[in-house]
Amino acid sequence: MKEIILDTETTGLLIKDGHRIVEIGCIELENLIPTKNKFHCYLNPERKVSEKAFEVHGYSDEFLSKKKKFAEVVDEFLTFIKDKRLVIHNAEFDLSHLNNELKILGRETIGNDIVDTLVLARDKFPGSSISLDSLCKRYRIDNSKRTLHTALVDCDLLSKVYINLIDQKEPKLNFNNTNPNLNKEISKSVLYNKKIVAPSDEELKNHNIYLKSNLKKNYFN
């Protein structure tokens, strides 16, 4: 099954304040393995970027003024995501902005199936921080390149978080596949990062105390 990891950056938070999209990033997954297919564009929002948004992504008005408008990329974007499930962190935000851009052009809103990783994380870790950075830390995913919020970097991180959230630690492989390059492609795809951490002396001590007090047949005396 093909899925699209999707992220956007905007001029600000609220559509009612006239904010627009400045960047769209998409990474395609097939059976949870990233393919080489990506969609990425910077957009001229035809308005100024708010100070807070600039602090988040770093895209200046001058930089964006030279980019294409959404109307110039909309067909390519819709073709890329057609009939594929979209995986988004805080989907309500991204979809509201994407649908607003489509409404401005008189186009139909997005009707794809949606997986919101924010909802998945909230259900799995109630009461814990579920930001993308927090989830990367929880799953020991290297997010050192995320000095600013940029769509493709965020998509790459989200793809790894998503695989961990759904407990799919390894991709499902078709062993009948006759493609000789399959294993090479899989080996190049770092889908998650798990580290084996040795217990401390204190943890070992507590573990032995637990075993002594809970095992019916005590082998430690």
Which of 19, 97, 149, 207 is catalytic? The answer is 149
Q: How far is CA 194 from CA 160, 169, 175, 215, in A?
A: 11, 10, 25, 31
User: Considering just the CA atoms, what is the radius of gyration of the chain in Å?
Assistant: 22
Instruction: Give which of 180, 161, 157 is closest to 169, Cα–Cα.
Output: 161
Distance CA 29, CA 84 (A): 10
Dihedral, 80, 85, 87, 93 alpha carbons, nearest 10: 80
Q: What are the residue ranges of helices labelled H in 174-214?
A: 182-188, 201-214
Instruction: Give which of 163, 165, 186 is closest to 174, Cα–Cα.
Output: 186
Give catalytic status of residue 149 as yes or no.
yes
Residues designated catalytic? 149
